[in-house]
Structure 1
């Protein structure tokens, strides 16, 4: 019996030991589960800490004296399920990205460059860039939901810091780099480990660029991506897409977006070379042509800005740019050749030449040749382009296309001045003076001032106005003076100016307008005085006209601009500038700052790059989300405020409505010349209109007595209504 009792005791002791060992294993598993819960979901762990401390304060030693029943275990499991359901109701979903999570990732990255935090942040960046897509949230992704403040925080940190993080992981310099460095890097081990991060960053940023609508956000994003543009050498497909997006923003954007897009493209071309330059030149040329379809006075500055950007891009690689310039100038020559051929109908073909698109392309290449005349790469194209421009000017010798011919003459003068070659411009200008429309009396009256820079063709009624005739004659005098002043220091100036001086004297004899006659006599006097100036110096030299020493003739006087024609040309430029300023009602900037191409705009961009995070936070702190949320108008609150203001303004507007019944009529005063003196009309109609205009003055109508009585009655009725409402 004793042996049996001992055996039973040993069995019971073994069972108790097994139970204790099982309890110990359960306790250890439970503690491990709690630790994993604290790491994966800290918010749920804090929730359990507040509502069920006993579950978290689980002690391993307490299991020695506690017997666990199956019923108690079931009740504990039921309580845990109940708590988790309650937590799911109170807390956000498991895939929600919170502000604390983003802060923890950012601190881990900035502190010790934690790779796990970088990967988590890049997953969150992908979610932010694809948030609200039509395809819906992807269940395979770890994160799917976020608020607008979290979106702004992720975008701001990633766009600002990710370039430095990637360069640190890939062991690259903190800035710069070219295509060769990326090609060498692609064979290294760091690139194999982290190229997926680079591709994810660039691809998701491209996606969000296509979704954005706010110009400030797009400008900020492109400005930050500009530092990482060298990585696109490893991804040709992404490179083509980035070029396409940047070209679109450059041609159609507003504000600072065009200049930021251009700088992004220029950096790409400098760092990546021909892989990017050819596509960028073709795309920018196409964008320039699309913007030149229609031109007016307010669009000239924007077109000039686009042309300056294109010319600046050619500087990156002038030998490669020569190939593109030769191709496009040849296309212009083929179009002109088709228009000049006798087998075709000129009425249908010449319109391809006499349009804004064609003329602006000529001005673009003329500006490129003038900009790089000292380099020598584009100099061989100066002669064929001058021949094309001269052919365009002579294509249709009609007075209606007088403005177009003047534009061609200006281009030729610019090419001659920059290249130092002689271009026969005087014959084109003198032929304009012999048109019969300038010798007829202005039967169309005074007419409106015509801005010859903003039109290519004028109507027949405009041809008969005095304002158009004056603009034509003054423009011819200015361009002819500009042409002659370029060669006012030449040994052969007397021979060069002889024919123009004779034809100007003939115009003085044939015209009946005193204003034109006085203008021509001034120019003839300056030509004669300049001839005397050069002949005195020419009498003292001993070299022949074909000697090389003739090129240095009057070189010192040319530097000081001492010739009479140079001084007269400077005064005419000032007069033309004043006339153009008076035509422009206000200075127009296309897209606020986009048309400013110079130091001022570059300073603004540099200031933005060096700005603090406060300014950047304001850019991305507009509660904007891409996708579905972007369709909702973010300015709803502003609209509500405006509607409230309009309602408040209705009452005072009703009170001031009667005050506006008193109308002041202004009568135009007499027509005067630009210098302030009254013009001398030659026709009888002009004399009579001059007398009538001198008698007319500014008058004001006195308010009639009936209107004052009506106003008082209306105010009395309104005050009575208010008293009744107050009594009620």
Structure 2
């Protein structure tokens, strides 16, 4: 016998026992895997009922402690960690961020099948006191879900509250059932495979759902969780004969059961995941226990949940159920973000709901998008910002009385999304405003009908208004946001807007001009930036509609909110002149109110007062003359108000800080501010009356 080397002696002393133990454990695991493969091959050869994406009929037909005992006998005494080390972890597909590594849906059923091994002794009865303690903890941790249980599942909350007589009777029944079960346990082990092979798809009932709910509440059962997901998949594919070429393990053929199953899945899945793979929230970011074996094991079930959820979002016709799906799925965001592919698909579907669904579904979808954007990295934030803007632009192509409220809703909500991360928002805003500038430059150079159409449309106008809203929100002077990262974008946006105003000066495009001026006014009011708007408004007053005798017409008043270019029939008519006079004078009053506290206001309005007096002399519109006289009167009052207060100042005009702070703390309203507030109130009342009359006509 050869002499042992020093390396061999060292190995025998330090590593031999551990190596032998590892090999024995590997052999045990390999044997378990082989037995599992043989069992599956036997099922395939014997013509068992169709599986649901790998979850065969043996899983759908098995129940209770008999199944648990049979599985434990097959798996041996291995614990959870040993089982996961025996190939289950590799079967889960690892990190799902890699799009090319996603497996087919056929492996999904096998993952849901193997997940049952993690459940442990879930069929044991829970002590009523422990159940009450769990419910108390649930009420403290998730009051919204506990309230849902109170309203919809009182029998689950009342578990363990029976009288003494009922308790004695139940104990006797349990003893008898235990004795019967003990006698038939051996036979059950032998016949369980045959029973599974003969069983077909199970019909989901309310009683079955209640049992799964109880198991999830009492034990956070992964077995009940798996069955719930299988039934959820059957509901999502209801109406199709098979799923992925395989028959389903469950069948849903009742509308009440369908609705209950959908709501139960949406409510209870976050409860199970929060128990087995809890997350920690820090500054709207979520951290998951990625090193936990259960985290890896539950990735495929989560993928199954979302694939079926996305199918529901595409196919559900009932808005109320769509609202439930969208709002409840927001609770799954902490586990969604781990898979980038699922997160992207989910965001796209939410954006589609945000752009096309009814108002409350839109709001729920936006809240979910905002939650995802706030909790994700730069890539997902870019996807949310870009997707929101593109969905908004597509929705603004047609602007009518019916679509305008939804467009405004999208505009306001998307602007809030752009306020989450100013650095990322700046990059997108810069690119999109630059696109608007390129369209405008092309139109100014080419001067063709096609180039003008690329600017003179509702999409362009709504985009200008949207970016004015975004910059006004992110650079709001009331928030001391002078150093906002979005501040440099104000100047190019104003240049684009003023270029659109001057593009076609004809009176037919006055509605478009007034829309753009209104957008710039919003920007001025929020940021305090000075933009000279008197010139484009004075050009309106010099139009032929106000300088020549109007044509007679019996046309109805034109709704400027949904009008971009006036029809040819309205040109030079009294009806059109009155509508333009009312809107333009109101915008002039709004603009003057933004400068009403300026220390230079008396000098600022000198050329304006001169031009307004000339307009009054040549005007043929009584409505315009009346409005301009009232504005001239308020301008004179405001000038006197400013002169009275600046007579006592002690700083020079070169003290910019003191000039900017002039009348900033003044609580009294300036005359123009008071007049503007009253005009807004009158305009709101007029619009309310018009809407009421329109509703009566429709009714």
TM range (shorter): 0.5 to 0.7
2:305 aligned partner = 201
2:580 aligned partner = 472
Aligned ranges 1:21-40 → 2 under 5 Å: 31=184, 34-36=187-189
1:391 aligned partner = 499
Structure 1 unaligned runs (5+)? 1-27, 46-91, 589-728
For residue 539 of structure 1, report the CA deviation from its aligned partner. 3.3
Structure 2 unaligned runs (5+)? 1-180, 476-481
The range that moved more, 499-508 or 485-494, is 485-494
Q: How many Å separate the matches in 1 of 2:657 and 2:374? A: 42
- Residue 653 (structure 2) aligned to one of 545, 549, 556: 545
Matched, 1:242 2:346: yes
Q: Is the 8 A contact 1:481 1:565 kept in 2?
A: yes
Aligned ranges 1:139-538 → 2 under 5 Å: 139=246, 142-143=249-250, 147-172=254-279, 177=281, 185-341=289-445, 344-373=446-475, 376-445=484-553, 447-538=555-646
Deviation track 1:156-211 (CA, whole Å, cap 9, x = no partner) reads 322111111112112446xxx47998776223322133333322222322233223
Q: How many Å separate the matches in 2 of 1:399 and 1:268? A: 46
For residue 381 of structure 1, report the CA deviation from its aligned partner. 1.0
For residue 332 of structure 1, report the CA deviation from its aligned partner. 0.3
Q: How many Å separate the matches in 1 of 2:456 and 2:443? A: 10
Q: Is the 8 A contact 1:166 1:198 kept in 2?
A: no
1:576 aligned partner = 683
For residue 261 of structure 1, report the CA deviation from its aligned partner. 0.9
Task: Say which SS state the counterpart of residue 540 (structure 1) adopts.
Answer: coil
Q: Is the 8 A contact 1:489 1:553 kept in 2?
A: no
| Structure with more contact order per residue of length (Cα contacts < 8 Å, sep ≥ 6) | 1
Task: Say which SS state the counterpart of residue 326 (structure 1) adopts.
Answer: helix
Note closer, same or farther for the CA distance 1:277–1:30 as it changes in structure 2 (3 Å cut): same
Q: How many Å separate the matches in 2 of 1:580 and 1:180? A: 41
Q: Is the 8 A contact 1:409 1:425 kept in 2?
A: yes
Task: Say which SS state the counterpart of residue 353 (structure 1) adopts.
Answer: coil
Q: Is the 8 A contact 1:288 1:303 kept in 2?
A: yes
Q: How many Å separate the matches in 2 of 1:514 and 1:136? A: 72
1:697 aligned partner = none
Q: How many Å separate the matches in 1 of 2:590 and 2:201? A: 76
Task: Say which SS state the counterpart of residue 234 (structure 1) adopts.
Answer: coil
Note closer, same or farther for the CA distance 1:428–1:40 as it changes in structure 2 (3 Å cut): same
Q: What TM-score do the two structures reach when normalised by structure 2?
A: 0.67
Give the superposed CA RMSD.
3.2
Q: What TM-score do the two structures reach when normalised by structure 1?
A: 0.64
Q: Is the 8 A contact 2:581 2:623 kept in 1?
A: no
Q: Is the 8 A contact 1:543 1:549 kept in 2?
A: no
Matched, 1:120 2:224: no
Note closer, same or farther for the CA distance 1:134–1:244 as it changes in structure 2 (3 Å cut): farther
Q: Is the 8 A contact 1:491 1:550 kept in 2?
A: no
For residue 108 of structure 1, report the CA deviation from its aligned partner. 2.8
Note closer, same or farther for the CA distance 1:235–1:43 as it changes in structure 2 (3 Å cut): closer
2:45 aligned partner = none
Note closer, same or farther for the CA distance 1:225–1:441 as it changes in structure 2 (3 Å cut): same
- Larger C-alpha radius of gyration, 1 or 2? 1
For residue 146 of structure 1, report the CA deviation from its aligned partner. 5.5
Q: How many Å separate the matches in 2 of 1:37 and 1:101? A: 26
For residue 95 of structure 1, report the CA deviation from its aligned partner. 4.2
Q: How many Å separate the matches in 2 of 1:239 and 1:179? A: 20
Q: How many Å separate the matches in 2 of 1:316 and 1:267? A: 10
- Residue 109 (structure 1) aligned to one of 180, 202, 216: 216
For residue 571 of structure 1, report the CA deviation from its aligned partner. 2.6
Note closer, same or farther for the CA distance 1:470–1:115 as it changes in structure 2 (3 Å cut): closer
Pairs aligned (count): 509
Note closer, same or farther for the CA distance 1:447–1:126 as it changes in structure 2 (3 Å cut): closer
Deviation track 1:468-493 (CA, whole Å, cap 9, x = no partner) reads 21222232222222222222222211
Q: How many Å separate the matches in 1 of 2:666 and 2:284? A: 46
Q: How many Å separate the matches in 2 of 1:233 and 1:43? A: 37
